[in-house]
Amino acid sequence: MPPRSMTAADYVAGVRSGHRAHLGRAITLVESRNPQHQALAQDMLLELLPHTGKAHRVGITGVPGVGKSTFIESLGRMLTAKGHKVAVLAVDPSSSRSGGSILGDKTRMEQLSIDPNAFVRPSPSGGRLGGVNRATRETMVVCEAAGYDIILVETVGAGQNETVVADMVDAFLVLMLPGAGDELQGIKKGILELADVIAVNKSDGGNAQSARQAQQQYRNAVRILQPPTPCWAVPVVTCSGLTGQGLDTLWDTLEDHRRTLTDNGELTQKRRQQQVKWMWSMVEDRVLDAVRSHPTVKGRLPDLLGGIDDGSMTVTLAAMEILDAFGVSAE
């Protein structure tokens, strides 16, 4: 819990100093669902906003077993060696039973987490996509204000998390494995449609030949998909997070993507659209909180759930009654 004596100005000064402990406290504040903490966080964020917006924001996802953590650690260490400050935010779906975060990223990225020019932080959602959106977006703002010029947002888990992350970054990187035959059949088309860049990881050693074959197969696949950005043809590169092979080329590709979007004005437009989506996501999150906590809804809920269980109530009717109890017409 944030210290009660700290003001928004205290948090701003701490974040701007770049001190990791102050940065951690500020992020804890924005993650809090306590109304008083949220109000203080918004005051802090308003003061930090003029110092944000210049970082390169990259979302990273990948199929199971692709080696995301090793890849991100290698990429992050390469970037800090080049003089960048790198923040890694892991979108954490949280435990659906305990509500706690899966804090595995610091142990999986041991070297990066102790790099003085890197900051690794899980971003717990409380099991809700709105929580992912708010906590991660506001954490990005704090990290940018603290001087981190590259923000890597890793998706932990599958499903809608990919779409949520793609809607908050400048570029979305999808990691794939060599040996794409079976994998290409099973991968969700939607994930490839989100990709701004595709990288075939683990392309070192004996995997080199299969990686080149996979690269060509993915190139063929993306040609028939609508690219996320009209001015950008989605490239497919090969790399190895384990050896660092190809990471320079991959980062050059991501920087080329950012330059292309910046030069034609699409980056500004994209970020503006993301802000609007963020606003509506927050509206949905707050409305859901209000509905769940409404006393009349809470009073009706046991009967409605019982009706669904015994078949005397349809889900649609139950939803309509909840809205009616909340005072909203379901018509």
Residue 271 placed within a domain: no
Domain boundary among 216, 231, 263: 263
The tokens for 60 are 């990273």
Domain presence at residue 97? yes
Q: How far apart are CA 244 and CA 239, in angstroms?
A: 7
Residue 68 placed within a domain = yes
Is 131 inside any structural domain? yes
Name the β-bridge partners of 62. Answer: 175
Mark whether 173 and 322 lie in a shared domain: no
**Torsion sign over Cα 270, 31, 10, 117:** negative
The verdict on residue 268 lying in a domain is no
Structural domain tally of the chain? 3
Residue appearing with tokens 């990290």: 143
In terms of domains, do 28 and 91 share one? no
Please check whether residue 318 is in contact with residue 307, taking contact to mean a CB–CB distance below 8 angstroms.
Answer: yes
Instruction: Verify that 212 and 234 share a domain, yes or no.
Output: yes
Q: Which residues of 295-320 are buried (b: 16+ CB within 10 A; e: fewer)?
A: eebeebbeebeebeeeeebeeeebee
Co-location of 166 and 298 in the same domain: no
The boundaries of the domain holding residue 172 are 52-263
* Cα-Cα end-to-end distance for the chain: 42
pTM of the model: 0.85
**170 and 88 within one domain:** yes
Q: In angstroms, rounded to a whole number, what is the distance separating the alpha carbons of residues 146 and 78?
A: 20
Q: What is the pLDDT along the chain (331 residues), one digit of tens a residue?
A: 455 578 999 999 999 998 899 999 999 999 888 889 989 999 999 999 999 999 999 999 987 788 999 999 999 999 999 999 999 998 755 444 344 444 445 557 889 999 999 999 876 555 555 446 678 889 999 999 999 999 999 986 555 578 888 889 999 999 998 875 555 544 556 778 889 999 999 999 888 999 998 899 888 888 888 777 888 999 999 999 999 999 999 999 999 999 999 999 999 999 999 989 888 888 887 898 899 999 999 999 999 999 999 999 999 999 999 999 998 765 5
